[in-house]
Structure 1
Amino acid sequence: MPVSSARDKKRVGARQPILNLVALALPPRCPGCGEVVEADHRFCAPCWAQFTLIAPPWCAACNLPFEFDRGAQALCGQCLAAPPVHDGVRAAVAYGPAARALVLKLKYAGRTAYAATAARLMARLLPEDAEMLVPVPLHRWRIWSRGFNQAALIARELARLRGVPLELDLLRRTKATPVLRGLGVRGRAKAVAGAFAVAPGARERIKGRSVVLVDDVFTSGATTDACVRVLKRAGAARVTILCWTRVLDPGADDSWAD
């Protein structure tokens, strides 16, 4: 056995009693309701039962789930009426109480470990042709007040899990935008117009690449569509949106949306 491996095992063994005490004092808790669970990033049975995992069959353009299989090339009504600017929206779970609870705790209660919880369920939906991960950026004022960008935390964990390169500074939010909740589809689109730009010298890194745009919540798509347009103008071949949760009901409460 290499000397370094033996030393590492010895260090872990020495720390184990302390780790056991920490586990007793601070047991893993469900990200949804806070009940004690068997391991980190696990949901209790009642919260897990609230999730609707999003998977095929779905719209070939936007990945909106269908109730039954309509064929691999079938489109939803909205995409038939107006083809989307993106190349699909992949979300781990549909909007619901447990999904909402995780986002609120991550964004507003500083539970940054929940970014890894979300990423673990999102990783299965990462496109096979993904060449880079780009988080939806926050304006510097929002980062100063919150202390972090939740999309960047999720993207970092996805990069670790799947080995896809992460580009944290490729896309920038150049204009502070108001909170989008309550604005409606048109109001949101107007609020984010012109708010994003690629970093100087980034076009060569984007040109011809398959980009995955990472976010926590997909509501109306106003913010992500604005990002997609900027990335495609910079030369991206494909831009797929990957998020933790997607609001499937257009009339759902949007009080949690940025």
Structure 2
Amino acid sequence: MDVRSLASQAVRWPAKILFPPVCLGCRNLVGEPGTLCPDCWPGVRFLERPWCEVMGTPFAHEMGEGVVSAEAIADPPPFKRARSAVLYEGVPQRMARSLKFGDRTDLAPWMARWMVRAGAELVTEADAVLPVPLHRYRFLARRFNQSAELSRAIARQTGLRHLAAVLIRRQSTRPQVGLTAAERETNLSGAFTVPPHLRPLIKNKRLILVDDVYTTGTTVKTATRALLAAGAGSVDVLTFARVLPKDFALGGVETI
């Protein structure tokens, strides 16, 4: 071990004593920051190939290169591709809720690392990254936008330009939880826009739209349409977690 390594460890040692690293899922002590303990690690299901090339929905079996799901064929989304890092269940669900409702913004950089891994192909082709915005009233109540925390961390880790204020939410809509698909569409109709003076920033650009959880896709689809109408070249969607049917639940027969 060289002198530089010894010096680096000497600097980090007091910090580890005063602020020991804790598990992202349960806050028990772990050896390194940004990791999970042995109890939490089995509670994470990473979304891996094979998957639908458009929706990022995993297939139980290899279907061949470029195959898309029935969902993508029956109802083609306005975005080019969607990718998510993990299944929204167990530990990832707790992490997402802790970020959104528990003010755990310290989780965002670590969640973003998983997202960058899941969206590697999107990142290599993108010009910029931006978050799904909150309405200003909700932002003032919550004090931060969890999607913006994630998109900012992704921009720092990838070097992509961060367009935090290009897309705005001009209507204060009802929470989407508990609404039917039709009600979600109506609730978000006309909710997003890009101010005319900011449209040159996205003109013909390849964008990554970031959100915390992909549920039905109504929010990101509506936001994507607003970006494309404002002149964006293409939009990919990247989320931390994805809600999938119960067939994909932890402990199921098929793996993802």
Moved more, 210-219 or 195-204: 195-204
Q: Distance in 2 between matches of 1:223 and 1:208?
A: 22
Give the structure 2 partner of residue 65 of structure 1: 58
Q: Distance in 2 between matches of 1:97 and 1:156?
A: 25
Q: Distance in 2 between matches of 1:250 and 1:45?
A: 25
**1:243 CA displacement:** 0.7
**1:212 CA displacement:** 0.2
Give the structure 1 partner of residue 16 of structure 2: 23
**1:251 CA displacement:** 10
- Written as runs of structure 1 = structure 2, the 5 A alignment for 1:115-194 is 115-124=108-117, 125-126=119-120, 127=122, 128-194=124-190
Give the structure 2 partner of residue 47 of structure 1: 40
* RMSD, aligned α-carbons: 2.1
Q: Aligned with 1:201: secondary structure?
A: helix
- Aligned match for 1:86, one of 79, 90, 94: 79
Letter in 1 for 2:125: D
- Whether contact under 8 Å (1:31, 1:101) holds in the other structure is no
Letter in 2 for 1:197: T
Q: Distance in 1 between matches of 2:28 and 2:47?
A: 25
Letter in 2 for 1:220: T
Moved more, 135-144 or 47-56: 47-56
Q: Distance in 2 between matches of 1:149 and 1:120?
A: 18
**1:49 CA displacement:** 1.3
Q: Deviations over 1:153-178 (max 9, x none)?
A: 11111111110100011100100011
Number of residues of Structure 1 aligned to a counterpart in Structure 2: 239
Q: Aligned with 1:236: secondary structure?
A: coil
- Aligned match for 2:26, one of 26, 33, 41: 33
TM-score scaled by structure 2? 0.87
- Written as runs of structure 1 = structure 2, the 5 A alignment for 1:208-223 is 208-223=204-219
Letter in 2 for 1:93: V
Q: Aligned with 2:161: secondary structure?
A: coil
Q: Distance in 1 between matches of 2:245 and 2:18?
A: 41
- Aligned match for 1:56, one of 46, 49, 58: 49
Q: Distance in 1 between matches of 2:135 and 2:150?
A: 17
Percent identity of paired positions between Structure 1 and Structure 2: 33
Give the structure 2 partner of residue 237 of structure 1: 233
Letter in 2 for 1:90: R
Q: Distance in 2 between matches of 1:88 and 1:199?
A: 25
Q: Distance in 2 between matches of 1:219 and 1:189?
A: 13
Gaps of 5+ in 1: 1-8, 253-258
Q: Distance in 1 between matches of 2:101 and 2:84?
A: 21
Q: Distance in 2 between matches of 1:214 and 1:167?
A: 11
Q: Distance in 2 between matches of 1:72 and 1:134?
A: 29
TM-score scaled by structure 1? 0.87
Q: Aligned with 1:45: secondary structure?
A: coil
Give the structure 1 partner of residue 102 of structure 2: 109
**1:25 CA displacement:** 4.2
Letter in 2 for 1:44: C
